[in-house]
Structure 1
Amino acid sequence: MKWFYLASALMAPSQAALRFGCATLSIQRLDPVVQPGIVPSTHLHQIVGGNAFKPNMSGDVGNQGTCTTCVFSEDFSNYWTAVMFFKHENGSYQRVPIMENDALPAGINGGMTVYYTQQDFFSNGNQKITSFQPGFRMTVGDVTSKETHTGLKFVCLDTKSTRFPELPTFPTQPCKGGIMTVHHFPSCWDGKNLDSPDHQSHMYNTANEAFQPAGPCPASHPVRMPQVAYETLWDTAKFSSMWPKDGSNPFVMSYNDNLGYGTHADYVFGWKGDALQRAMDNSCMFNACENGRPLLSQGVTEMNKCAVQSTVNENIDGCKPIFMCYSTKVTLTTFFY
């Protein structure tokens, strides 16, 4: 994800590209896509978006919520990723705080940055971009993976504006400005299934790298949809003075991974009515899409007010040993990412 694409996007004729913040809705062990109805799920997630989030989710999510933590007040989708922990030398684990992105409105409570782009960062390639449909969901990544995946990256931040180089695994040294996790979803749909048993095979990826020009969708997945992406900034710098003496990486994702191959993310579509299609048919960029041009938006105070009560009663900030953050009671291999 090369940062010069931002400058290109602002100078070149373009179709809609959405880039917006969502405050944290909840941090708890729930996963209504991969482990529906299981309370608690195997590992901790940070969730943003609409307040219809719950252990089981079905139907048109956009019509079920009453508030959203996202800038666009018509977006009741849910977006979630695993949580990062710091492992102390005594074997205890401490949750790493989430930072707001400095390119977004000030005061957002943690959360993440969400993108909906088209063929690449600044163009739809003259193709019709079709909105996701009510009931649609997907995941990207695999918690059991032992290899890297396109579009799933880590960035060692010098400042919050650092965007490269992108790394396939955790940084191997302290990062002055923290660590950013990046999750890009595929954008070619089979045109039939709102989900699939593995939550991935109804989608197909044609981009070699994030925000790069995407190849044509194959006949098996002919419908071009927006490419969804998340960026989450973790305040790891506060732990730099505690880096292990042996030089090993002290950061661990909540599914018990200190390498990063298993990084993953979930998405449940929940835009109201035709809002996302209106945006994809528009030529606005980023915050120029707000205030009814063409999407309704809200301020940071309203975003931060939206929340859901935790279904799981446990300490999410620190744990010893790791099973207090991560459970092996549910076999991971029976679920897919």
Structure 2
Amino acid sequence: MRSRRKRLPALLLGTALVAGVLGFGTMASAADPDAADRAGRGAGVSAAAAAHAGHNMAPSTRASGDDADGDGYIPAVPQVTGVTPSEANPEPRYFHEFQANCSVTHTAPDDPIVFPGQPGKSHDHTFMGNTSTNASSTTDSLYGGGTTCKAPGDASAYWMPSLFKGEKKILPIGPQVIYYKAGVTDYTSVRPFPKGLRFVVGNPMQSAQEFRDHPGWVEGWECGESFKNIDFPSNCPAGSQLNLRMQAPSCWNGLHLDTPDHQSHMAYPLVKAGTNDNVCPASHPVALPMVEFKMAFPADGDMSQVRLASGRGYSFHYDFFNAWEERTLKAMVDHCVVGGLQCDPRGYDQNRPEEGAVLDEEYRLP
């Protein structure tokens, strides 16, 4: 369960399952190089965001579900205003995180964030968590629904471009690790996601260098003794795993659950000048958990035919749509993130058993 936390660079603002081991599985990660748009200072849509269509991702401007007027902006209710980014430096804790372990549910050419209400318009995605996710998913349709996450209170939808070897779809096997952690130095300032928050991490149209320079980059594609790869390794040892980790922005503007480019309402923490401290920018002052995908696909031998539905390995990106039961998410965030613990999906830190667990043996809030 050990996770390595990296220092974020200071340059940002802002269908039936067919599991195979013919080469391995699926992945996640991508980048939007338009820093001004990430900062979300304006309401405009960046060229990079317009390109995120690997889906042919045009900005969403279509009435649907949660966006009745179709302008792409979904306001938070209530909005969170008057927040000043915390520059406090609490007692150092190497860990402040918990896991949400969620298995694959299905695959489909749908994307309820980028192409809401338009089934079949996206490239193929591999979905985890909520079992009902489709092109028409809304906050209400997801909330309280069935889930493959270990905690029944997590009905959130998680998805990424499907992985192929040739024409065969390769799926991750078993529960995938999704971390919720502090992205800011003041881990005690992190608060739960607002219900219905959604965003896209990365850009399927990004270049290899943009993927490498993306603030969410952790260690690239890995298998065997091959590390920090921008694209897929050429060969993976028999019986190994292809792994990828990608971090999401964790600072929120407090105003919108979504924006037309699906990114501008979120930003990565900045490194405070003259320090090593990560703080949220003034434009996005609300510290939320930093989601980190840690995907693992079965890998075996020649990887030359491996690709993502969105393209090369560096086109990796992923989507998150929050549908946690509020009390459960708050309990996990308060105990594990704010409490400075390294928790499993029950909210239990095996290195600090005296702190207890948040959830019972069935992963439910007592």
Alignment TM-score, normalising by the size of structure 1: 0.67
Q: Secondary structure at the match of 2:257?
A: coil
Provide structure 2 residue ranges, at least 5 long, that are not aligned to the other structure.
7-91, 350-355
Distance of aligned partners of 1:62 and 1:39 in 2 relative to their CA distance in 1, 3 Å threshold = closer
**1:119 matches 2:183:** yes
2:195 is aligned, of 134, 145, 159, to 134
The letter of the residue matching 2:307 is: V
Hey, what's the Cα distance between the residues in 1 that align with 2:270 and 2:298?
Answer: 30
For residue 46 of structure 1, report the CA deviation from its aligned partner.
1.2
Residue aligning to 1:289: 347
User: Residue 157 of structure 2 aligns with which residue?
Assistant: 78
Aligned partners of 1:4 and 1:35: how far apart in 2?
34
* Counterpart Cα distance in 2 of 1:207 and 1:165: 26
2:172 maps to amino acid = I
Percent identity of paired positions between Structure 1 and Structure 2: 25
**Deviation string, structure 1 residues 7-32 (Cα, Å, up to 9, x no partner):** xxxxx856741123211111222111
- Does the 8 A contact of 2:98 with 2:342 survive in 1? yes
Following the alignment from structure 2 to structure 1, what is the Cα–Cα distance between the partners of residues 123 and 260? 20
Aligned residue among 291, 296, 304 for 1:228: 291
Does the 8 Å contact 2:144/2:325 carry over to 1? no
Shift of 1:194: 0.6
Number of the residue aligned with 1:68: 147
Post-superposition offset of 1:61: 5.4
Letter in 2 for 1:253: L
Q: For residue 223 of structure 2, what is the aligned residue in structure 1? A: 157
What is residue 233 of structure 2 aligned with on the other side?
171
Give the distance between the partners of 1:126 and 1:48, measured in 2 at CA. Answer: 27
Aligned equivalents of 1:275, 1:62: Cα separation in 2: 16
The structure 2 residue matched to 1:205, chosen from 268, 276, 280, is: 268
Match of 1:269 among 311, 316, 322: 322
Using the alignment, how far apart are the partners of 1:126 and 1:3 within structure 2?
16
CA deviation digits over 1:71-128, x for unaligned, max 9? 11211111111111112xxxxx2222423xxxxxxxxxx34211000136xxx53541
Paired residues of 1:189 and 1:224 also in contact (CA < 8 A) = yes
- Relative to structure 1, the CA distance from residue 111 to residue 43 in structure 2 (aligned partners, 3 Å threshold; closer, same or farther) is farther
| Distance in 1 between residues matched to 2:187 and 2:171, nearest whole Å | 41
Structure 1: distance between partners of 2:169 and 2:277:
36
List alignment gaps of at least 5 residues for structure 1: 7-11, 88-92, 100-109, 244-248, 300-337
**Superposition RMSD on alpha carbons, in Å?**
3.0
User: How many residues are treated as equivalent by the alignment?
Assistant: 257
Q: 1:286 & 1:267 partners in 2: Cα distance?
A: 21
Deviations 1:247-283 (CA, angstroms, capped at 9, x unpaired) = xx3211012x13x221100000011022212222113
Residue in structure 2 matched with residue 94 of structure 1 by the alignment: 168
2:64 corresponds to: none
1:282-321 → structure 2 map (5 Å cutoff): 282=335, 283=339, 284-287=341-344, 289=347, 293-296=357-360, 298=362
TM-score by length of 2: 0.63
Q: Secondary structure at the match of 1:98?
A: coil
Change in CA separation of 1:134 and 1:15 when aligned onto 2, cut-off 3 Å: same
